[in-house]
Chains A and B, each alone.
Chain A
Amino acid sequence: MDIAAGNGRGTKMAGNAPNADILFVEIAANDIENSVEATTRQSFGDSVQMLEAVKFIFDQAGDRPCVVNVSLGTNGGPHDGTTLVDQGLDALVRAKPNRAVVIAASNSYADGIHAAGTVAAGGTLDLGWRTEIGKFGRELEVWLPGASQVAVELLGPDGTSLGTAEPGTNLPLADGDELAVFVSNRVKEPNNGDNTISIYVAGGVPGGDWTVRLHHRKGPAVSFHAWIEREDRDQSHFTGSLDNSHTIGSISCAHEVIAVGSYDAHKAKKPLSYFSSAGPTRDGRRKPEISAPGHEVVAARSRSGKGTTMMSGTSMAAPAVTGLVALLLAEARRRGLQLTSNQLRSALIKSARLNPPKHAAGSGTHVMGSGGHTLMR
């Protein structure tokens, strides 16, 4: 918040929009009934609360220009802007002009959480999944076109086949009287018509190199994308060569939001941070739209003893862009302009510096998402 709109009295450096009115919403887990374990054991809430928080802020703003900063994310999901939380964010932004939602792109670039490939007609394809013995359980999702017919077989670390889930079926696996593994092979998602394979390995199940074997059943060859859900205390990852594309957080893939990556402003060439998640989205849109300093950034922090902290992450980059959007919106209001989110996005990107300069539009999308647009603060 300090980076976006701090007054500088604590850090000696004001945020980008120090005169902006600030509204902070804390997303607590305790108003959710029957929350799953993953929600209740951490304090960053869930997609429903986040959507309600954005709505609350826009409602409070009324007809005033308003930009919302969101530094939350998840690796799972279709990454195509079709989920209801994506649609909800888009609807909120489109409801009035001079609105924006800025979201941190995520910090999973180097975590090995994405894989993609093509299962040949009549063939199989193996995904290696390395896990440790963890307390919290691991989650993996594979997204495939709706017309595809692909079965999934799970092999344990010792190579034993634990079973196969055909399209449209579930495979629950138990160790004694406890659920150990759950595989779901679902067809025809309601929002995009795609198929989804999801695998959950419960906490306490032995770690090692698992194999997710995709069996083509019929029709043409099938391309897919797969993601491993984030678990900072026990991050599992794909084995083999890294595919760092498409590592952008799922909720950053909504059409109307501005996704922000991180670069290292301490270095002369301003390289992207090693952790800054990359686009594009699964439906081929270029994200993140822009990057900002997010590497070892000093910002205000209460209860730190000295009033500041130094942290890295796209969470430190996004509020820099949020502050700039606030300035843009203030100027738009002064001029009586009614900006759509696309106009705002265009203005932001036009004001950014391309880094490296030789990147032409369309190149470097793997890493930069949007042709290498980098914001210089």
Chain B
Amino acid sequence: MHQTPSSSPLGKAAAGAYDFTMDLSKLRKVESPSPRRAAGEVRGMVTGMVKVNKAGYRPKGVKVRGEISDLIFTAEIPVGELEALENDPGVASVAFSRPLQSQQSKRK
């Protein structure tokens, strides 16, 4: 990791070297997460937001954290449930949390 690409060209990651449990090419309802998260191996639970097509509908398999509106809620989502959400016609889209930073510039 500490050599330049010219002396150690990066190679294509071997199949199976990384567990892309959130391959976004397959999860069409998932909003593009931050590149860092897209690159990461994610297991277990992810925190995010879910938008549904019908007011009040809450899909099974996710733990609702907070009700934002009739159509949008925040949730803990088991990674294993993402495919079910993908195939659930009642689910419009899913988004993973993105880190936020303060907008303070500098101290004087």
Contacts and interface: CB of A to CB of B under 8 A. Distances in A.
Interface of A: 27, 32-39, 42, 44-52, 55-56, 71-74, 76-77, 83-85, 87-88, 91-92, 95, 104-107, 137, 139-141, 156-158, 160, 162-163, 168-182, 184, 186, 188-191, 196, 198-200, 202, 204-206, 229-230, 232, 249, 251, 273, 275, 296, 309-316, 318
A195 B37 CA distance: 17
Contacts of B43: 34
A189 B31 contact: yes
Interface size class, chain B: 35 or more
B4 A158 contact: yes
Interface in B15-70: 17-18, 20, 23-25, 28-32, 34-40, 42-51, 65-69
A189 B32 contact: yes
B94 to A, nearest CB: 8
Nearest to A304: B107
**B interface, by DSSP: helix, strand, loop or mixed?**
loop
Nearest to B48: A48
B101 A73 contact: yes
Nearest to B70: A91
Contacts of B10: 156, 162, 173-175, 180-181
B36 A45 contact: no
B65 to A, nearest CB: 7
A76 B95 contact: no
Rank and list the top 8 A-B pairs by shortest CB-CB distance, nearest first: A182-B39, A313-B105, A156-B5, A104-B103, A91-B69, A172-B13, A190-B93, A46-B97
Contacts, number: 255
A365 B19 CA distance: 45
A196 B28 CA distance: 12
B34 A229 contact: yes
B43 to A, nearest CB: 7
B107 A74 contact: no
Contacts of A88: 49, 68-69, 72
21 contacts: A34-B46, A47-B98, A47-B100, A55-B66, A71-B102, A71-B103, A72-B102, A84-B49, A84-B95, A87-B72, A107-B104, A172-B13, A172-B17, A172-B20, A198-B35, A204-B2, A206-B2, A206-B4, A314-B103, A315-B104, A318-B103
A34 B47 contact: yes
B105 A312 contact: yes
Given A36-B99, A179-B18, A311 B47 contact: no
Contacts of B107: 309-311
Given A76-B98, A170-B20, A38 B49 contact: no
A316 B1 contact: no
B55 to A, nearest CB: 11
Contact of B39 (A50, A51, A202): A202
B14 to A, nearest CB: 7
Given A186-B24, A196-B32, A311-B106, A73 B100 contact: yes
A38 B35 CA distance: 11
Given A34-B45, A49-B97, A190-B93, A156 B6 contact: yes
B75 to A, nearest CB: 9
B104 to A, nearest CB: 4
